[in-house]
Structure 1
Amino acid sequence: MNYSDIKFDCLYFKQELPCKPHKEQGVSCIDCSVYKPIQKRVLIVKLGALGDVIRTTPLMKALEEKYGTCHFTWITHSPAIIENTRAQKVIPFNGLNFSILQFSEFDIVINLDKEKEACLLATHVKAPEKFGFYMNGNQIDGYNAHAQEKILTGVDDGISQLNTKSYLEEIFNICELKFDYQEYEINLNHALVNKWNTNFNEIKEGKTIIGLNTGCGPRWKTRLWPIAYWVELAKNLREQGYFVLLLGGSQEDEQNKQIASESGAHYAGHFSLEEFIALSANVDVVVTQVSMMMHIATALQKKMVLMNNIFNKHEFELYKRGVIVEPSSSCDCFYGVTCSRERSCMKDISVEEIATNVNKLAEVTA
């Protein structure tokens, strides 16, 4: 084979390394039977937060539906979450990769972060088509009217509260794509999924698993449902014959131990993100406040009861698999990190209402 025989435009081509078909099947560029020419090279800039990275992944399928075979390069602060998805090249955001990308060429650049470093990268990378946000002098700007509208919702609470589009509808509009319920993608370790499945089969006694994700991160504590309510819900669900599994990270460890002790719910501990996703894959119905768990559950296509108070509920796309429950007294603190009331509105979401919605979703799952 000569240099001129190399198919640089093939989806499987890996620059300095042999491609996967060559290693697994022994094929050669000169007569390759799986050659797949790239129609569009796409750079996606979505740095974080981690949940936002997950809920941007449906764009990849939509881009392929519109353009054909696409090669996706994704730069992010959380590369592990989208490895083994449709993205062929997932790289961490750092100075070296920033510099390399500035000298690279793509057909399409999509930047959906309004942080200055992301906008600077989108501005300088070469591509004939760009969507999302960029730096216009010292100001952040949008490449089209949809992106500029998204900037408005970010700086004006009144406009944001009037919005009736989901986040996915917004970013699909920004990228001039049609949202048709393209699913989330996530890095899922199937060996770990099977491990937890075996573990649960030994203890759940054929019961439906209800996962209670009790935390929501340190920033928006106004979203928290009281621990006493979680205890009461766990007891309620166990009495109805469900296997109740407590979910959370290291920040929820102590409260989950307390809830388990007072309710009899099962708590397996806290794990790495990879293991947590595999553990969650075995749950039938998830109950959660607005959190990263909401995005993981959506990616895993789980039934979900989502508790929301401080955000615009229209933002969340549950793919017709879930229900959003809000305080009966409404909420006065739109995107608020502190509560303006003496009694948190989250206390007005009753255990009975959550349990009722769990039962409805569990019936559909059964």
Structure 2
Amino acid sequence: MPDLSNITVHSDCRHFRGDVPCRPNKEHGYLCPDCPVYEPVGARILLIKLGAIGDVIRTTPLLRRLRQEYPGCYITWLTLTPAILPQGQIEEILRFDFASALHLMARRFDVAINLDKEKEACALLLKMDAGRKFGYTLRETDGVAWPVNELANHKYLTGVFDQLSLENQKPYVQEIFELCGFDFRGEEYVFDTHQDKGYDWSHLPTGAGPRIGLNTGCGDRWTTRLWSDEKWLELITQLQTAGYTPVLLGGEAEDARNRRLQAATGAAYLGTFPLPQFINLLHQMHGIVTQVTMAMHISIALQKPTILMNNIFNPHEFDLYGRGQIVQPDKQCVCFYRGTCKLGGAGCMEDLPAEKVLAAVRASVPVS
């Protein structure tokens, strides 16, 4: 049995695995005493942001500030959707399950951040051994989510009182930066375009006007955001007349609608794709029209001009980074954060004219 006291092991190196050989050893045969790529880890940081996918995407600007504030840090991110995170930009990405929670509770971190109010996420932060904690923990007396310190008060309160949420004028990214004790300086998202995958987009229209992606769905939770087929038909026709090339976007839930719209207008529609390929398809657009949904977060992350159709959410919540515009119905929405219109009928999204969306497209993506 080897005597570990006589063997140099750089267990503080970011390449060290503990259960299997590290990559430098496996690929180059390097040993710890004279390893040329030995890199000791600085602060160890745990970031808990489980879901949904869009919220995970718009949390990635934090990575830039954490790297700046903690040079040489080792970041562990716990999430329900590991595939959406930029591989190679985060040292350790863990899917949230019992094994990961058990593993994390046996470790110690310099900083632990929880941005979710789900009880399981709050309970994990409560039990974590960390020098500094930010975000939300679990109040042990009654098991409710609770701010771990005063920095989390603002974001916490806007989430539990509609009146405060309506009055809020801070975008989400600024709120989570302040929750962690940082000022927001316009840090961009950290995201993978998947351009290196070599996807074949030869069926995309070329040589015409700017390609404008039209994301026609919004999921099944907040259906008050939906625009009717008639409105999409109007917009597509107006875009084509103005010299743009509309490209229909969506998933399985939007497939039937997009096929109808394609048949009626001749707009491009390539079908549905796995998430990485869908992201890369959006990357081929010159601008994107979307409701508040996953495609919106992807569009912002890809730094595309984003024309955001919004009705039920506080528009101050969204930071388009100076690219694009937010357009809202001419009729004021009275269904703040509601999935169905309390007035009945088609809802206020039908009071968003296609001409208004077209004007925002023209301002954000001019036809040369």
User: Normalization by structure 1: what TM-score?
Assistant: 0.94
How far 1:153 moved relative to its partner? Answer: 1.1
Query: Would you say 1:78 and 2:86 are equivalent positions?
Result: no
In the other structure, the counterpart of 1:62 is: 65
**Partner letter of residue 42 of structure 1?**
I
Encode CA deviations 1:168-216: one digit per residue, 9 max, x unaligned.
Answer: 1110011011211211123442234x4244443xx32253211000000
Alignment of 1:180-219 (within 5 A): 180-192=185-197, 194-200=198-204, 203-219=205-221
How far 1:307 moved relative to its partner? Answer: 0.6
How far 1:22 moved relative to its partner? Answer: 4.1
Root mean square deviation of aligned Cα: 1.9
Identity %: 42
Among candidates 288, 291, 306, match of residue 290 of structure 2: 288
* Structure 2 residue matching 1:155: 3-state secondary structure: coil
Encode CA deviations 1:9-59: one digit per residue, 9 max, x unaligned.
Answer: 222323323334444555443223333222111111111111101111111
Q: Tell me how far apart the structure 1 counterparts of residues 23 and 324 of structure 2 sit (CA, whole Å).
A: 39
How far 1:165 moved relative to its partner? Answer: 0.5
- Please identify, of 24-33 and 114-123, the stretch whose mean Cα deviation from structure 2 is larger: 24-33
Does the 8 A contact of 1:85 with 1:187 survive in 2?
no
How has the CA–CA distance of structure 1 residues 25 and 124 changed in structure 2, closer, same or farther, with 3 Å as cutoff? same
Q: Tell me how far apart the structure 1 counterparts of residues 308 and 81 of structure 2 sit (CA, whole Å).
A: 24
Encode CA deviations 1:86-123: one digit per residue, 9 max, x unaligned.
Answer: 21111111111111111111111100000100001111
In the other structure, the counterpart of 1:154 is: 159
Q: Tell me how far apart the structure 2 counterparts of residues 180 and 322 of structure 1 sit (CA, whole Å).
A: 19
Does the 8 A contact of 2:199 with 2:277 survive in 1?
no
How far 1:81 moved relative to its partner? Answer: 0.5
For structure 1, the 5+ residue unaligned runs are none
Encode CA deviations 1:146-172: one digit per residue, 9 max, x unaligned.
Answer: 312222111110011010111111100
Q: Tell me how far apart the structure 2 counterparts of residues 2 and 259 of structure 1 sit (CA, whole Å).
A: 71
How far 1:67 moved relative to its partner? Answer: 1.4
How has the CA–CA distance of structure 1 residues 235 and 26 changed in structure 2, closer, same or farther, with 3 Å as cutoff? farther
**Partner letter of residue 190 of structure 2?**
E
Does the 8 A contact of 1:80 with 1:187 survive in 2?
no
In the other structure, the counterpart of 1:271 is: 273
Bigger fraction of residues in helix: 1
Query: Would you say 1:330 and 2:335 are equivalent positions?
Result: no
* Structure 1 residue matching 2:355: 3-state secondary structure: helix
Q: Tell me how far apart the structure 2 counterparts of residues 276 and 15 of structure 1 sit (CA, whole Å).
A: 37
For structure 2, the 5+ residue unaligned runs are none
Encode CA deviations 1:117-156: one digit per residue, 9 max, x unaligned.
Answer: 0001111111110100001212321122231222211111
Q: Tell me how far apart the structure 2 counterparts of residues 197 and 25 of structure 1 sit (CA, whole Å).
A: 38
* Structure 2 residue matching 1:181: 3-state secondary structure: coil
How far 1:254 moved relative to its partner? Answer: 0.4
**Partner letter of residue 333 of structure 2?**
C
Q: Tell me how far apart the structure 2 counterparts of residues 260 and 185 of structure 1 sit (CA, whole Å).
A: 33
Does the 8 A contact of 2:324 with 2:360 survive in 1?
no
Q: Tell me how far apart the structure 1 counterparts of residues 245 and 27 of structure 2 sit (CA, whole Å).
A: 43
**Partner letter of residue 51 of structure 2?**
G
Among candidates 220, 244, 262, match of residue 260 of structure 1: 262
User: Normalization by structure 2: what TM-score?
Assistant: 0.93
How far 1:85 moved relative to its partner? Answer: 4.6
Encode CA deviations 1:67-97: one digit per residue, 9 max, x unaligned.
Answer: 1111111111101111415211111111111
Does the 8 A contact of 1:83 with 1:90 survive in 2?
no
* Structure 2 residue matching 1:107: 3-state secondary structure: strand
- Please identify, of 348-357 and 305-314, the stretch whose mean Cα deviation from structure 2 is larger: 348-357
